[in-house]
Amino acid sequence: MRAVIQRVTEANCKVDEEITGAIGLGFLVLLGIEDADTDDDLQWLAQKISVLRVFGDENGLMNKALADINGDILLISQFTLFAQTKKGNRPSFIRAARPEKAIPMYEQMIKTLETLTSKKIETGIFGADMKISLLNDGPVTIIMDTRDKDNH
């Protein structure tokens, strides 16, 4: 499982000109799910996202987490995070999970993040042609991959 987490002052997702999810201060999370992902991966990643301290404190240091700033999450499924570009000019997405695996995991990630943050998670629509708008704050962009969870 791979996530690109962007600290934003605002973000939204539109499908067919309709807003499906919108937040103010918080995280835009682009989530890629691969066939090898397990519930352990999901739990680890959700926990890391929920307590990630990248918001400024009174001294301007990145010491605050979402809960400290009453921030929100806009979670967007993005299979293209598993693009393989080693050969040729057209990316391969063979590592990305098929919808029958990815959709239930995406839905579980929403529920898990809602439990961990005690807040509604804003979303896009799985598989739709989504238009994402954001104002990246900093910019701060963090990439997490569950394959790194066992490396200290």
Give the pLDDT confidence of 92-110 residue by residue, as tens digits. Answer: 888 889 999 999 999 999 9
Give the pLDDT confidence of 34-73 residue by residue, as tens digits. Answer: 999 999 999 999 999 999 999 999 998 999 999 999 999 9
Q: Are 54 and 62 in contact (CB under 8 A)?
A: yes
Q: What is the token pair recorded at 46?
A: 């959700």
Strand partners, 84: 92
**Domain map (residue ranges) of the chain:** 2-147
Contacts of 12 (CB under 8 A, 6+ apart): 19, 21, 22, 23, 74, 132, 133, 134
Q: Does 152 have pLDDT greater than 60?
A: no
Active-site pick, 9, 80, 85, 146: 80
Average pLDDT over residues 19-44: 97
CATH (residue range 2-147): 3.50.80.10
Concerning whether 80 is annotated as a catalytic residue, the answer is yes
Structural element, H or E, at residue 27? strand 26-32
